[in-house]
Chains A and B, each alone.
Chain A
Amino acid sequence: MASTYETVAGIIADTCDIEPEKITPDSHAINDLGIDSLDFLDVAFAIDKAFGIKMPLEQWTQEVNEGKVSTDEYFVLKNLCANIDKLVAAKAA
C-alpha cells in the first residue's frame, strides 16, 4: 500500500503535470512547485477522495492569515502528509 507521501506526490504529479523527480517531502507546494489556487483545488479534491477526508482548508488558510502558523505547516509536503495522517486517524477513531 502506498504511503501518504507517495499518494500525495502522485496526485500532485498527475494533477499539476509536474515531473515526479521534482517533488520531494521538503517541497513547498506553492513556493517550490508553483501550484496555483485552481490547481490546488484539484489536488485537494483528489486528496479528499483518496483518503476519504475533508481537509479543513479554510481553517488552515485562516490560521496562516492570522499569523498563527507559517504556510510551511500546511504546504510543505511532509507536513501536509502529517496533517492528512492526523485527519485519517481522527476519522477512524
Chain B
Amino acid sequence: MRLEYFQMVDRITALDVTAGQIQVAARVPDQSPVFEGHFPGHPILPGVLMIETMAQTGGWLVLAKLRFTRMPFLMQVEKAKMRSFVEPGAALEVSATLVHEGSGYAVINGLTRSGGKKVSEAEIRYGVVPFPNDTLRAAMLETARRVAVPEELLHAA
C-alpha cells in the first residue's frame, strides 16, 4: 500500500469474474505521514482508508468484469464496520463479492481480514460510467498490470 497515493491494493491473489469474487493482498506500510496524524503515539490505519481499500478491491472486480470498458466510481457505503485496529506493517487480505450488477451501477460486499481475523466490512455501491477520458483509462490499465489483473481481462472480449 502507498497510502499517500491512494494505492491501496498491492496485488490480486484470486479473481473469478464469473463467480463475481476477488481477493487481494495489501500490506500496510511501516511508516507513512498518515500515521503522524492518525494518531500521534498510536499509529493505526484510518477507517476511511480501510473503506477505500475495500472499494478499490471491489472496483478491480467490476473493472475486470466489464473488461475495462467502463469505470466504477464510489457512490455509497452501507453498513461499514471497523472491528479492530490495524497497525503499521499489518498484512491485509481483502475480498469482495459482487452482489448486484445493475444498469449503470454495481454493488459489492467487501471484507478485510488481518491474521485471519475480520477487521472491517462494508457494502459498497458504485456508479459505473464510461471513462471520462483516455488519461484515466490508460492509468487504470497501467495500475491493473501492476496489481496483476490477468491480461485477457484488460480488453473487450
Contacts and interface: CB of A to CB of B under 8 A. Distances in A.
A55 B102 contact: yes
A71 B143 CA distance: 39
A58 B107 CA distance: 16
Contacts of B105: 41, 44-45, 57
B46 interface: no
B72 to A, nearest CB: 13
A38 interface: yes
A38 B76 contact: yes
A53 B58 CA distance: 22
B104 A54 contact: no
Interface string B46-60: 000000000000000
Q: How large is the interface on B (under 10, 10 to 19, 20 to 34, 35 or more residues)?
A: 10 to 19
Contact of B102 (A38, A54, A59, A61): A54
Given A41-B125, A45-B125, A55 B103 contact: yes
For B100, B104, B125, which residue has the most chain A Cβ atoms within 10 angstroms? B104
8 contacts: A41-B76, A45-B100, A49-B100, A54-B101, A56-B103, A57-B105, A58-B103, A58-B104
Interface of B: 75-76, 100-105, 107, 125, 127
Interface string A53-88: 011111101000000000000000000000000000
B103 A54 contact: yes
4 A-B pairs with least C-beta separation: A57-B103, A58-B104, A58-B103, A56-B103
A48 B100 contact: yes
**Chain A interface mostly helix, strand, loop or mixed?**
helix
Contacts of A55: 102-103
Contacts of B103: 44, 54-59
Contacts of A56: 103
Contacts of B100: 45, 48-49
- Max chain B CB contacts within 10 Å: which of A38, A41, A59, A61? A41
B102 A57 contact: yes
A45 B104 contact: no
Given A41-B125, A45-B125, A57 B104 contact: yes
A39 to B, nearest CB: 10
Nearest to A41: B105
B122 to A, nearest CB: 15
A49 B103 CA distance: 13
